[in-house]
Amino acid sequence: MPTHVQVILQAVSSFAICCGLVFAALQLLHWRRAYQVANFTKLVELQMSLRKMRVDDPSIARVHMHDVEDLETDEEIRHYFINLMQLSVFEIAWYSFRQGQLTEDYFRSWEKRMRALLAEPSFRRMMHKPSMKILHDEFDAYMHRVMQQVEAREPEKK
């Protein structure tokens, strides 16, 4: 076999191996990202379980008094924690979108719904409550930016 044919065959096989390694690296990156989203989702779901307990039995919320500051009735406690639960679901959508696991059009539909919720007085009270904590700092900043946009539009609607 001529040498130039051997060199071409070696180049082709080397290129195939290189492409295989690049593909494997990209697959590993996507797998890692999906795993991070799954872990994040599980943590938020656990947090939601604690919130659901407080919706089901508002007296449990009084275990941490700072959680119920300025909340007088069981109904107010329920409203507060239901709003937090809704926020948690959106936090999963936000994080999934940031990690490339959710399409932009689907995320924007969630964002539109959240803007509508931010216009509601009970949701706004929850967001302004000093003891309310969003655990992901970037999500917290994002939500407060969206809230400011919604509040800036409110005078236009009236």
Identify whether 25 is part of a domain: no
Q: Which carries the bigger pLDDT value, residue 42 or residue 158? A: 42
* Burial 12-29, CB ≥16 within 10 A → b, else e: eeeeeeeeeeeeeeeeee
- Is residue 15 one of the residues assigned to a domain? no
The residue with greater pLDDT, 157 or 136, is 136
- Note the pLDDT tens digit of each residue in 62-75: 898 888 888 989 99
Which amino acid, residue 70? D
pTM (global) more than 0.75: yes
| Main-chain dihedrals φ then ψ at residue 155, nearest 5 degrees | -60, -30
- Residue 130 in domain: yes
User: Is 153 inside any structural domain?
Assistant: yes
Residue 6 resides in a domain:
no
Q: Is 7 domain-assigned?
A: no
**pLDDT higher than 80, residue 154:** no
Q: End-to-end distance of the chain based on CA atoms, in angstroms?
A: 85
What's the Cα-to-Cα distance from 83 to each of 79, 87, 119, rounded to whole Å?
6, 6, 12
> How does pLDDT run across 108-145, given as a tens digit for each residue?
999 999 999 999 999 999 998 888 878 789 999 999 99
Is position 94 within any domain? yes
Domain count, the chain: 1
Domain region containing 81: 37-157
Residue 27 lies in a domain: no
